[in-house]
Amino acid sequence: MTTTAPIVDVTTETFVQEVVERSRTTPVLVDLWATWCGPCKTLGPTLEKLAREMNGKFVLAKIDIDANPEIADAFQVQSVPTVLLLKGGRPVDGFVGAQPEKKIREILEKHLGPGVDPLEAALAHEKAGDPASALMHVAELADQDPPHPLARAHRARLLLAIGETEDGRAEYEALTDQEQDSDPGRAAKGLLALQAQKTDLAPLLAAVQQAPESVAARLALGRALLAEGRNAEGLEQLYQAAKLDLRYNDSEPRRALVEAFEALGADPAVVEYRRKLSILLC
């Protein structure tokens, strides 16, 4: 199996080491399956998804009973799929037949404690600087029936964050009122507002060069840079405007920064400029 997730294919030869011994330190979920088994094809991907999501809280050991009949005999398997959770070298729970994800999750959390929220796990990719991977995982949650809470709003936001403006707009407009009013929904709205300000940067750059003390010029340039996805540069221009005159036009520099923070969400530059604005406000 070509994956770095905590999933292993187990044979009779590796069973003691990979299942019995390993379960003494890490719980092992044994999936006894067969190639001819229809429910196994439904259950397998669900178990693999949970193994990846919980990221090391348990190991998923997949065992083909036709290739390893001795293991099936040892567990007295009557039908497949049969799933057993081993801890300390012995089974502590399990089930027979394909089960819904919610039921499997309840069994795992009963013995392993609460798992990582799958949406948080997906958004961790964005925090690590990979919004495209975050979008891929969030989209899976958004397409579930029912969708994972807030996954659809985050999908709209992430589409806009990576520059897929039209798709992001369509996703945002399809959100419910409650989703649009959520944090990621408001962020998506903010990104749409930013991207609506796309314009030719050359004259704005020239205006700042000619009048570096102009708050209005820096605000215009900052917003245009943000519209192009040049977030750190855009925030710097808005911050410079705030440094020049924080109260300009009814505190427009502060408002522009706060709106940008809400729109950009997990962008690493937001943390830095939040801190800078806090110092300035003090």
pLDDT at 130: 87
pLDDT attached to residue 5: 52
For the annotated catalytic residues, the residue numbers are 37, 40
* Residue range 118-195 in CATH 1.10.510: no
118-195 and 201-281 agree in CATH topology: yes
Q: Where are the domains of the chain?
A: 7-112, 118-195, 201-281
Domain spanning 7-112: which CATH class is it, in words?
alpha beta
What pLDDT is attached to residue 127?
81
Quick one: pLDDT at residue 116? 64
Residue 274, Cβ density class (10 Å: 0-12 exposed, 13-18 middle, ≥19 buried): middle
Going through 121-186 in order, the beta strands assigned E by DSSP cover none
Write out the DSSP string of 76-136: T--SS-EEEEEETTEEEEEEES---HHHHHHHHHHHH-PPPPHHHHHHHHHHTT-HHHHHH
Per-residue pLDDT, 115: 62
Cα separation, 67 vs 132, whole angstroms: 39
Ordered per-residue pLDDT tens for the chain, 282 residues: 333 358 999 999 999 999 999 998 889 999 999 999 999 999 999 999 888 878 778 999 999 999 999 999 999 999 999 999 999 899 999 999 999 999 999 999 899 876 667 788 888 888 888 889 999 999 998 998 888 889 999 999 999 988 899 999 999 999 999 999 999 999 999 999 988 889 999 999 999 999 999 999 999 999 999 999 899 999 999 999 999 999 999 999 999 999 999 888 778 889 899 999 999 998
pLDDT reported for residue 1: 34
Q: What integer pLDDT is reported at residue 3 of this predicted model?
A: 37
Domain 201-281 has CATH 3.90.1150.10: no
**Which residues is 63 bridged to in the sheet?**
32
Tokens encoding 28: 């092992």
**Tokens 């001819």 belong to which residue?**
36
pLDDT at 237: 97
Decide: 86 and 92 in contact? Cβ < 8 Å: yes
